[in-house]
Structure 1
Amino acid sequence: MMRPKQSNKPLRRLPCAIITITTSLLGQSFTVTAADKTDLDIYYKDNITHVVSQDGAMHLKPELRIQSRVSTPYDGNPDSIAKLNGDTTSQEIKRARLKVGGNINENLKVKFEYDLVGSQLLDSRLTYKFVDEFQFRFGRMKAHYSPERVTSSKDQQLVDRSIVNDWFNIDRQQGISFLGHLNKGTWADSNYWFDIFNGTGRDGKNENDHFMYVGRYQWNFLGEQMETAMGDLKFRSKPAAHFAVSATTNTSAYTKFSTSAPGQLRDFKDKAVEGVDDQFKLKQWMVDFSYRYNGVSFQTEYHQKQVDDRVNNEITNLEGYYVQVGFFPNRYFKSMPKELELAARFANVDPNTDISDNNLKELTLGANWFFTGHRNKLTFDISRHEIDELGFDSTGSETRFRLQHDFSF
C-alpha cells in the first residue's frame, strides 16, 4: 500500500498560516492554495484555529490569548514585609500572547509565542522526533524542571503560580534539549529531559565559559503521561499519576530567573558585584508528585537550592514546597454546577535554612468556572501571605483578592 506523498517544502507553507490570525474570528472552514499548490484546510473548532495540509502532514494551531485581572491590595507574591503593605486595586491586561504551535511534518514540531504586553519573544523552538524514545529540541524554551513553571499560566488551577516558583524556577532559557518517552502504556512508562542552556535567561547570551545543565526523570507508574494543564478536566475513569526528580546546576551572575529578566533573589541584591559574570554557583534539586482521578487532582513539589557566592565566600541553602488540591463538586454532589472547580494550595519557602523564623507562607483558596475548559474560564482566589523577616519583631501578614478571566481563541 502506497503512503501519500509528503511535501518536502514545509517552510513554504508557513506564510499561509499568517492569514489565520484574522480568519480565526470568523469560525468558518475553507481552503487556501499555497505557493507549492498544496491545499490547506483552515477551520475554527472548540476555540482553536486549525491549519491542516490535505495530506495531514502539517497541522498548526495559531491563537491569540488575553488574560484580564483585578487584584487588591496587591497582585504579585510579596517576598518582604514591606511589599505586604500594598493599598492599590489594580485592573490590568496581565498577559496577551500570540502563539503558533503544532507539526510542520510528521517528525518536526514548532512552538512560537510572543508577548504582546511586554513586546518580547517568549518561545521559539523546534523539536525533531527521531522516535518517541529520542527527540531533539533547540531554541528558546522553558527549562523542563518544575511542573508548576512548565504549565502555562493559562492552564493554572489558581490565578497564578505559588510563592515557591519565585524562588526556585529556572524559567525560559536558550539552548538544546534531549527528551523522550519510554515504555508507553506500561508500569515503566516514563519521560526524560536533559537540557544544556546558556544559563542567562530568556534572551541572554552565554556570559562565561559555563553552561546550565538541567535533568529530569518522570515515572508515570500507572501507564499514562498526564497533560501539563492542571486539574482533572477529563474526569478520568482510571487514575493517572507520576513521580519525578529534577536537578540543575549553573554558574552565572544571577540567583533568580523570570520571564522579564534574570536577576537576584531578595537576600542577594546587595551582594551581587557588577561585572562579575560567575559570582554565583547554583545547585538545585526537586521531587514532585501528581495524581488525577474522577475530577480530583493533587500535586506537590519539594525544592532545595544552594547558592555559592564565590565573591563573598558564602553558601546559602534554601528550601521550599507547596501542596495543591482541586476537585469538581458536581462529581460527588449532583446539585452543584458542573462548570465549577474548587482548589486550595499551601506553600512555604525558607530563604536560608541556617536562620530560624524567616519563612514565607501562602494559603490560597480558589474557584474556577469553565466556559470552554482552560481556554475560556473565570478564576477567583483569596490568598493569605505571612512573612517572617530579620529585623522585624513580628510576622507580617496580609490577605489578597484576585479575579481573572482567561480567553484563548
Structure 2
Amino acid sequence: MTLIEMKSVFFSFLLFSCLVSSSQETPAPKFGNGILNLMGQDSTWSMKIGARMQLLSTTTWDEDPNGGLTNSTSNALIRRARLKFDGFAYSPKLTYKIELGLSNRDLSGGSEFTSNAPRYILDAVVMWNFYKNFEVWFGQTKLPGNMERIISSGNLQQVDRSLLNQRFTIDREMGVQLWHHFNLSDTFMVREKLSIANGEGRNVTSENLGGHHYTARLELFPFGKFENNGEYSGSDLIQEQKPKLMLAGSYDINQNAVKTRSNQGTYMVNDAGFYESNINTVFIDAMFKYKGFSFMGEYAYRSANDPIAKNSDGTETGDVVWVGNGLNLQSGFLFTNNWEISGRYTCIDLDKIITGRDLENQYTLGLSKYIVGHKLKVQTDLSYLSIKNNQGQFMGRLQVELHF
C-alpha cells in the first residue's frame, strides 16, 4: 500500500467516524473520555475513539565560562498528535488498542527496515484474558521495561521523560506478552509480565536481523493496588487516602542485537552486514503516593558481551553499545487547587572508555496546573544539565496537553 493510499484509507475512516457520530442521537462523552463511544447492536464489540495533542515551546542557553548565559536557541513544535482507538471484540475478555502518531516526531525514524515509510503505528495490540488472572498480549506495544516509558506521555508529571529514559528505554516492539497477577494477602498483590519480541523496535517490516528479545518484569504492591492504575500515572491526582507503593524490577536480554541501545538507537553496520552483540538491561524502579505526595525512583544498568562494533577483520566501525548506568529520582506535591510543584534529579554514567560520553547530571524544577486532570493541563519546567568537563546548559519548556 502506497503512502497516498494509506492517507486515503485513514481520512476515509475519519469521515466514516464523523458520519456515524452524526447519525446517532447519542450525546457526546464527557470531556476526556473520548470523542466517540460506539457499541455494537448485539453488544459483541465496542470502540472508543480519542485524540490528543501536545504543544511544546523550548528555549535553551549555554552557560558562559565568564559568567551569564550565551547561545540562546528556541523552537516551538507539535510534540505529539495522536489518535487512539480501544474497546473489545466478541467478548469483554478480548480487548484491543490502536494508537496512531501524526506529528513529525511521532513519524520520524523511517529507514529501509521500515520500508522507508512514516511510522504511523505506535500501538496495535490484542489482549485476551483467557483464564482467571492470566492475560496474553499479541501485537506491537510497549515492552515491560522501565516505569517512566510505560507511563503514557500524556500522564507525565513533568513536560517530558528524563535522560534515563532517553538513554536506556526499550520502548515498543512487535511480540507476545503474558501477564498474570495474584494476591499474597488481602492487600499484598504481585504482578508478573513476560515478553518475547523481535528485537529491532517498532514498525520493522524486514526479516528479523539478529536474535530475539526477552523481557521479564516483577511488580510488588505491598499496600494493595493504586486507585485507577495510578502506579502508571504521574502525580497523585487521586489523592490516595492510604499509602500506596509499587516496587518493581525488569530484566531484558536482546540476543544478537544489531542496534546501539538494545532495540533503540542506530544500526551497527559492518562489512559483513551487521555487527551483533548480546545486550542486557536491568531496570529497578519504585512509585509511592499518599495524599498528594508522589515519589518515583528508577535505576537502569546496561551491559553487552562485546560493546565495540567491529568489521570481520577486527577493525572498529565507530559504533558502540551504550553501556553504563543511570539514576532518576522524581517527586512532587499536588495542592488542593490542582497546582503541583515537582523536582527531578537524573544522573547518567555511561562507560567513558567505550562510549566517549562524559558523566551527565540534570536537575529539573517543574510547575503544573491540572485543569481537567491529565486531559487538560499546562506544564512548565526549568532544567540545568551539567556535563563533566563541559559548560552547563539551561533549558526552559512550556507545554499544553489537550486530550479528548
Question: Please, which of 257, 275, 298 is the counterpart of residue 252 of structure 1?
Answer: 257
CA contact (8 A) 2:59 2:395 kept: yes
> Which has a greater percent of strand?
2
Secondary structure, in 3 states, of the residue corresponding to 1:238?
Answer: coil
Unmatched tracts of structure 1, length 5 or more: 1-14, 32-40, 75-83, 331-337, 389-393
Equivalences for 1:189-338 in 2 at 5 Å?
189-204=189-204, 205-208=206-209, 210-225=211-226, 226-227=229-230, 228-250=232-254, 251-256=256-261, 262-264=264-266, 273=270, 276-307=273-304, 308-309=306-307, 311-312=309-310, 317-330=323-336, 338=337
Greater shift, 248-257 or 233-242, is seen at 248-257
Q: For 2:363 and 2:299, how far apart are their aligned partners in 1?
A: 16
Match for residue 341 of structure 2? 342
Match for residue 359 of structure 2? 359
Question: Please, which of 378, 393, 396 is the counterpart of residue 391 of structure 2?
Answer: 396
Q: Does 1:96 align with 2:91?
A: no
Match for residue 148 of structure 1? 148
- Deviations along 1:118-161, whole A, 9 cap, x unmatched? 25111101000013521111111111111101111111100000
CA contact (8 A) 1:151 1:229 kept: yes
Match for residue 68 of structure 1? 55
Structure 1 residue 240: deviation in Å? 1.1
Match for residue 115 of structure 1? 101
Taking only aligned residues, the RMSD between alpha carbons, in angstroms, comes to 3.0
Equivalences for 1:376-391 in 2 at 5 Å?
376-388=376-388
Structure 1 residue 341: deviation in Å? 1.0
Unmatched tracts of structure 2, length 5 or more: 1-11, 62-68, 108-117, 315-319
Q: For 1:282 and 1:85, how far apart are their aligned partners in 2?
A: 39
Q: For 2:19 and 2:221, how far apart are their aligned partners in 1?
A: 40
Q: Does 1:48 align with 2:33?
A: yes
Secondary structure, in 3 states, of the residue corresponding to 2:195?
Answer: strand
Give TM-score, length-normalised by structure 2.
0.79
Secondary structure, in 3 states, of the residue corresponding to 1:73?
Answer: strand
How many residues were matched structurally? 354
Structure 1 residue 90: deviation in Å? 0.6
Pair 99,357 (structure 1): closer, same or farther in 2 beyond 3 Å: closer
Q: For 2:162 and 2:332, how far apart are their aligned partners in 1?
A: 15
Match for residue 164 of structure 2? 164
Match for residue 115 of structure 2? none
- Deviations along 1:271-317, whole A, 9 cap, x unmatched? 75365435232111121111011111101011110033375489874
Structure 1 residue 353: deviation in Å? 6.7
Structure 1 residue 206: deviation in Å? 4.5
Pair 166,63 (structure 1): closer, same or farther in 2 beyond 3 Å: same
Secondary structure, in 3 states, of the residue corresponding to 1:161?
Answer: coil
Q: Output the amino acid matched with 2:351.
A: N
Give TM-score, length-normalised by structure 1.
0.78
Pair 132,149 (structure 1): closer, same or farther in 2 beyond 3 Å: farther
